[in-house]
Amino acid sequence: MIIIDTALKKRQAEGKPVRVGMIGAGFMAQGIAIQMELYTQGMELVAIANRTLSKAIDVYQKAGHDHPTEVANLQELNRVIKDGGRAVTTDPFLICQAEGIDAVIEVTGAVDLGARIALESIENGKHIIMMNAETDGTIGPILKVRADKKGVVFTNADGDQPGVTLNLSVL
């Protein structure tokens, strides 16, 4: 991951980390949060939405943040992000709309909700990372076209060896 790590370190040094919101707080979300918050420079997980708030709080605690702030509206979320805090909410669409979020990771596993989250994120100029194979397999190509038209990235995890190998090359 030399290319990505180098770019992220540069963003960190410039004080411009990629600010990420995540929707979902299951096992995969927990792993992403721990990796991002404890081991990845240049990225910050600024908000987590989950229908069960205690699970979102638990994910943050496992990633080293004991007291995330519960938010109920867009103004509160924007304030927490601006102040450098971490937020939790039960409303996934707040994350799709927040001013201080650059990219959204969708990790719910629900086809309909995943599609609505992706569309809302794209419409609000957010890059979207789909960890939801069900949604991606159902309407991923449609979401990709929408994202391209809006000028944002729609992608999934780089997956197995080919994507990882590419990231190891040095330009």
Number of Cβ within 10 Å of residue 41's Cβ equals 13
59 vs 125: CA distance, rounded Å: 26
The string of pLDDT tens digits covering residues 79-127 is: 999 999 999 999 999 999 999 999 999 999 899 999 999 999 999 999 9
Return the pLDDT at 4.
85
Q: Whole-prediction pTM value?
A: 0.90
The string of pLDDT tens digits covering residues 54-77 is: 999 999 999 999 999 999 999 999
Would you tell me the crossing angle of helices 53-62 and 27-39 to the nearest 10 degrees? Answer: 40
Here the tokens at position 28 are 């995969």
Domains of the chain: 2-168 (3.40.50.720)
Q: How confident is the model at residue 159 (pLDDT cuts 50, 70, 90)?
A: low
